[in-house]
Homo-oligomer: A and B are copies of this chain.
Amino acid sequence: MLNASILSIGDEILIGQIQNTNSKWIAEKITQIGCSVKKISSVGDNYNEITSEIDTLLNISDLLIITGGLGPTHDDITKQVLCDYFNDYLVENSEWLEKIRKQFSRRGIQLSKRNQEQALIPKNAKLLYNEIGTAPGMLFANKGKYVISLPGVPQEVYCIMQDEALKFISDVIGATSEDTILYKNIQTAGIAESTLADLLQVDEKLLGKSTLAFLPSFAGVKLRIGAFGNNQFEAKNELERIKSHIISKAKQFIISEDEKSYSQILGELLTRLGKTIAVAESCTGGMLGAEITSVSGSSKYFLGGMQTYSNDVKINNLGVSSAIIDSYGAVSRECAEAMSECIREKLQADIGISITGIAGPEGGTPEKPVGTVYFAISDENKTYSDVKVFSNSREIVRERAVQNAILMLIKLLHSK
């Protein structure tokens, strides 16, 4: 197994100004190809602190991936730190200079001296091409240890990792015959954790040195296989073996065999069935439509919808009967059902789906506390509805409501 660590550099991380999404993304990608991540850390733009952390991390890992500190301003010191760390010196890389020169001329801007310095690369480092930005990635190899230095901008990290670094890391892993763990997630829905465990009959004989984690969330239990092998090939076989076992035992509860979002799973189902949908949202204010259309190509099945935040809009524009709102309130099963039926009809969709609830922090009552959300799905035959009471913050109530609505529709379509 290739032991790896991830280091992010930047004061903005330490003061909590930005969410460090790079580390999570890198950890996920390199774990998938067989690295074992030992430690993830962040330090500020400080020469000694960066040097000391590189030392610590290289002590416990074969591969260190660093993000940040490669920009053109005075606080960007990663390149100098690495140069000193590896007793290297900077030389101008003519290919890179040409690339940024062209980049600037396309934008009609003069290449400043400061930006020109982005083409200075440590002599013994390999340049990793960066399609988007002015700083390239760099790869240092020294005494069996590898350091990959990347810019801090997430899009540039994704780009360099996908175009260059992941291939390199795979090759290093492939060249060693060391043991490997491969991970895979299988998403289930509609079955409790303990019932699923009984059904799968997980034991020593099934797992050997591999692992199977049960990760329950409000939306179902995710199974994480960690397949162990003495090399990549063996680990892949183990993964297939354990996956087949799970599928044979729990097929009817599996909604995805890949790491897919609910909106992707929904999109595939709707595309396969050739159905169109429309949404009517109250407390989520558009989040359901936003989530469904986060999938590229969703225009094939998503027609549109209405954000009916006020009761007037529910009645006058969507067409919910005012008697329903007067009798049951806007947050009610009856209102949700009417919303899904009205939007389906209005937009001439095959399926209408609605959400109405109390996201909070205000507006709750003893009968309908904050977090109460009603859902309805209407198709050519029937209207289905449900209610959930979520806890926690406004943000989480809304997020859970959206995921629950999509899951409800997935389950319904799955049974078709």
Contacts and interface: CB of A to CB of B under 8 A. Distances in A.
B155 A396 contact: yes
B305 A307 contact: yes
A56 interface: yes
A298 B15 CA distance: 30
A19 B24 contact: yes
A299 interface: yes
A165 interface: no
A386 to B, nearest CB: 20
B317 A309 contact: no
17 contacts: A13-B40, A14-B38, A15-B31, A16-B26, A17-B185, A19-B24, A38-B44, A39-B41, A40-B41, A155-B393, A279-B286, A281-B286, A286-B287, A294-B398, A296-B360, A299-B309, A304-B317
A362 B296 contact: yes
Given A39-B42, A224-B17, A290 B284 contact: yes
A194 to B, nearest CB: 12
A58 interface: no
Interface in A341-364: 346-348, 359-362
Contact of A313 (B14, B25, B347, B395): B347
A269 interface: no
A94 B297 CA distance: 57
Count the copies.
2
Interface in A254-290: 279, 281, 283-290
A293 B306 contact: no
A37 interface: yes
B41 A14 contact: no
Contacts of A43: 38-39
A307 B348 CA distance: 14
A13 B27 contact: yes
A292 B398 CA distance: 13
Contact of A303 (B17, B297, B312, B359): B312
Interface string A29-73: 101000001111111100001000100100000000000000000
A308 B307 CA distance: 11
Contact of A16 (B17, B29, B317, B392): B29
A28 B14 contact: no
Interface in A104-133: 132
Given A19-B24, A20-B23, 4 more contacts: A281-B289, A284-B293, A303-B309, A306-B307
A41 B41 contact: yes
Contacts of A41: 39-42
Contact of A307 (B289, B297, B313): B289
Q: Which 5 A/B pairs are nearest by Cβ-Cβ distance?
A: A16-B28, A286-B286, A285-B293, A286-B289, A16-B27
